[in-house]
């Protein structure tokens, strides 16, 4: 059994070294592993069931997620939570929706930036996006988790670097027919939906649309400043499935 695990680990490491976007796939793998081992997946019996499981989930999200009120008025360790929260997800739908976006848009962005720059970009923008959300909701006691802010930054950078890349989108008002549009159509439309949802979102727990918008703006601004107008890449058409799940 141990030999099989060692063989699998070696093969995985070799495949990551040979791919052109190792950090994208590493981030996906880490997020999935942390979720499976956490209380939200339901795969770890040590967290119990029923009320015990619900209590474990609340404590877990509060420990590793961003609680705005604690971030600004709590102990110094709370300053790390915008980083740890990037790897925590609240449900299977939350996890898979975020990882789909990262898989689709992360690889080409990493290839353009390089693995080190992409990793720092992802973590830095994700941290600032969650920090921005917390600053706008400084008195909130709700835990915020998820890679949404970081992935939204990837979308912003992708829009600047690959505006002509073809993106396959599933539009609900067209009976989810897969249609291909350039990124400069799809991603601004996605950002507009986040803005509209932010304006209509009720107070309390829910989707952190503000973190999406902050991350998207940071990613777009970073790509514009870092690469300038003369270094945009004309990407060949690349499939990029996008559904209603939003990071």
Out of 89, 140, 143, 148, the active site residue is 148
Q: Is 212 a catalytic residue?
A: yes
Yes or no: say if 207 and 197 are a contact pair by the CB < 8 Å rule: yes
8-state DSSP, 243: -
Establish how many alpha carbons lie within 13 A of residue 228's alpha carbon, considering only the half-sphere containing its beta carbon. 2
Distance CA 84, CA 81 (A): 5
Phi then psi for residue 72, to 5 deg, are -95, -20
Which tokens go with 35?
A: 């979720």
CB atoms within 10 A of CB 117: 14
- Beta-bridge partner residues of 182: 166
- Residue-wise over 174-204: b if at least 16 C-beta within 10 A, else e? eeeeeeebbbeebbeebbeebeebeeeeeee
Does the annotation count 148 as an active-site position? yes
Closest C-alpha among 128, 132, 108 to residue 118: 108
The C-alpha angle 78, 80, 84, rounded to 5 degrees, equals 115
d(CA 145, CA 126): 11
What are the catalytic residues? 148, 212
């Amino acid at each position: 059994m141990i030999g099989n695990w060692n063989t699998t680990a070696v093969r995985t490491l070799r495949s990551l070294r040979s791919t052109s976007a190792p950090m994208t796939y590493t981030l996906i793998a880490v997020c999935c592993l942390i979720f499976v081992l956490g209380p939200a997946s339901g795969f770890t019996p040590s967290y119990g069931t029923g009320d015990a499981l619900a209590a474990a989930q609340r404590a877990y999200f509060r420990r590793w997620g961003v609680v705005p009120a604690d971030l600004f008025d709590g102990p110094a360790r709370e300053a790390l939570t915008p980083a740890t929260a990037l790897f925590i997800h609240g449900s299977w739908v939350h996890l898979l929706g975020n990882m789909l976006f990262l898989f689709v848009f992360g690889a080409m962005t990493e290839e353009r930036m390089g693995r080190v720059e992409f990793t720092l970009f992802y973590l830095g923008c994700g941290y600032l996006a969650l920090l921005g959300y917390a600053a706008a909701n400084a008195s909130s006691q709700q835990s915020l988790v998820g890679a949404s802010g970081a992935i939204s930054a990837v979308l912003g950078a992708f829009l600047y670097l690959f505006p002509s890349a073809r993106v396959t989108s599933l539009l609900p008002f067209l009976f989810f027919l897969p249609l291909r549009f350039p990124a400069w159509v799809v991603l601004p439309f996605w950002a507009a939906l986040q803005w509209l949802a932010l304006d209509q979102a009720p107070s309390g727990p829910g989707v952190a649309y503000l973190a999406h918008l902050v991350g998207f703006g940071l990613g777009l601004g970073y790509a514009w400043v870092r690469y300038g107008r003369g270094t945009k890449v004309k990407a060949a058409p690349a499939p990029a499935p996008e559904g209603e799940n939003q990071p």
